[in-house]
Amino acid sequence: MDNMRNSFAALRYICLYPSYKGDERTPLLRNNVQRSEPTTTKGATFISSVFNLMNAIMGSGILGLAYAMANTGVLGFCILLVLVSSLSAYSIHLLLKLCEQTGINSYEEIGEKALQKPGKVLVGISIIMQNIGAMSSYLFILKSELPAAIYTLVEREHTVYDWYEDGRLLLILVTLCVVLPLSLCPKISFLGFTSSFSFFFMVYFAIVVVIKKWSIPCPLPYNVTTPSGGFQISNSSDSDCTPKLFVISSKSAYTIPTMSFSFLCHTAILPIYCELNQPSKARMQNVANVSIGLSSVLYLISALFGYLTFYAHVDSELLLGYDVYLPRDVMVITVRLAILFAVMLSVPLIHFPARKAAILLLFGGRPFSVLIHIFTTVVILGVVLLLAIFVPDIRNVFGVVGATTSTCLLFIFPGVFYLKLNAGPLKSFDSIGAILLVVFGFLMGIISLSFIVITWVQSS
């Protein structure tokens, strides 16, 4: 008990006084020494911590949840949403408990303490793959949405193919001119100012989805002219205008991975914990619960009304459906530009943890090197760019990343690390919960990935 008090005292000291802590790889407790505490520095407020965590939770996943609802049904989606969000909050509870017991404020270091070097490597690789998948999904949105956004702003009749209609070319230009320079900066703290807008962008997105539900008739119109000048023939009928409560198909395998992808915020939990004013496990758990709850509400609203707009014909990237039936709509244009702006400036922020984990795994504790910094940045962005260019559907990114790294970081690792490091009885509530969390993660990951591979094989 004394060790736990000392651990929490050291944790509170370093969380509140950054001049002491150095970087997040520094252990929060050294030799069980309790240090005296100054009284000058104040951490982040509860509200600002909620917004920071919501920004870590909400991202490109919100664009794919209407497609997930179309392939599970309204009730099926709601059940899975409650299940995944609750398990996400519970796995955060286990991580915070481990943080309190060990005095460590880094996901990789908790993995190392639990499973030695293999644990650190597993967490590092998972973080790299997860963030590469997230960046790929963001760049995929730029590839698909940026040409449509430019086209709607150009006032002229479509006669010939223009260069700005090539999403791949625009993606390469944006990556080289905007994303790469920002990612090369050793410090991009000024981008943190834009994160406060992300929540309001997502709220505006949900509002637009609700409003535009009544702007598109059902059944969907036939022979609609697309923004590229072609025609799309709809095969929608009156029977498609009734929402399905439960749907089971091969495409349903994408639902849980997409939700896991959409609720993963565990790599940001501990840094936000350290920024919190008067940090305590209970206070940070409340931050997590409020953030996950509000995110779930926005996810449900956007998914429900997106599904009720297009029903079975909803696109895996929701905004693309509005181009066909509401070309040059002002609200759709503004929400598209808002999301594109948020996505463009979010990629460098997501890139930083991936680069840090890659340098930590490949080069160990070497001092800062400009060559290593540039090399790692270019390689990671190159991989992300290739994935965004050649992956044909964003649901593939959500599905594979969600079924593998998201499942590990969200369910498996917190449960395994808790079982390894917790000194309490195996029959305790949290130990049983950790076992169930691990079992659920393994089952859902294996089942979802298997169905995704089968779907690929059948479609090819």
- Alpha carbons 107 and 121: distance in angstroms, whole number: 11
How do strand 224-225 and strand 231-232 relate by DSSP bridges? antiparallel
Residue 353's domain comprises 43-459
Measuring CA to CA, which residue among 380, 398, 383, 243 is closest to residue 317? 398
Alpha-carbon separation of residue 363 from 55, 359, 372 (angstroms): 30, 5, 9
Give the predicted TM-score (pTM) of the model.
0.77
Q: Report the candidate in 110, 136, 104, 132 with the shortest Cα–Cα distance to residue 123.
A: 110
User: In this structure, are residues 237 and 381 in contact, taking their beta carbons and an 8 Å threshold?
Assistant: no
Nearest 10 degrees: CA dihedral of 297, 299, 303, 305? 40
Q: In degrees rounded to 5, what are phi and psi of residue 73?
A: 90, 160
Contact 429, 169 (CB under 8 A): no
CA distance 333 to 338: 9
> Can you spell out the DSSP letters for 59-118?
SGGGGTHHHHHHTT-HHHHHHHHHHHHHHHHHHHHHHHHHHHHH----HHHHHHHHHHHH
Locate 210 and state its tokens.
């609700």
Domain of 307, CATH number, reads 1.20.1740.10
Q: For residues 406-428, b (16+ Cβ closer than 10 Å) or e, as one string?
A: bbbbbbbbbbbbbbebbeeeeee
Give the number of domains in the chain: 1
Q: Could you read off the pLDDT tens digit of each residue along the chain, which spans 460 residues?
A: 444 444 444 444 444 443 333 343 343 433 333 333 443 446 677 887 887 788 778 776 788 889 889 989 999 999 999 999 999 999 999 999 998 888 887 788 899 899 988 998 999 999 888 888 888 888 888 888 788 778 777 765 555 567 777 888 889 999 998 888 888 876 654 555 556 677 788 888 899 999 998 888 877 776 555 544 444 545 566 567 788 888 887 777 777 787 887 888 887 787 778 777 887 888 999 999 999 999 999 999 999 999 999 888 888 778 878 877 887 788 888 888 888 887 787 788 778 778 888 888 888 767 778 898 899 999 999 999 998 888 777 667 777 777 788 888 889 999 999 999 987 788 888 999 999 999 998 988 888 888 778 877 777 6
Look at residue 15 and tell me if it is in a domain.
no
CA distance 393 to 16: 44
Per the domain annotation, does 20 fall within a domain? Answer: no
Nearest to 329 by CA among 160, 64, 148: 148
For residue 421, being part of any structural domain is answered with yes
Cβ proximity of 229 and 158 under 8 Å: yes
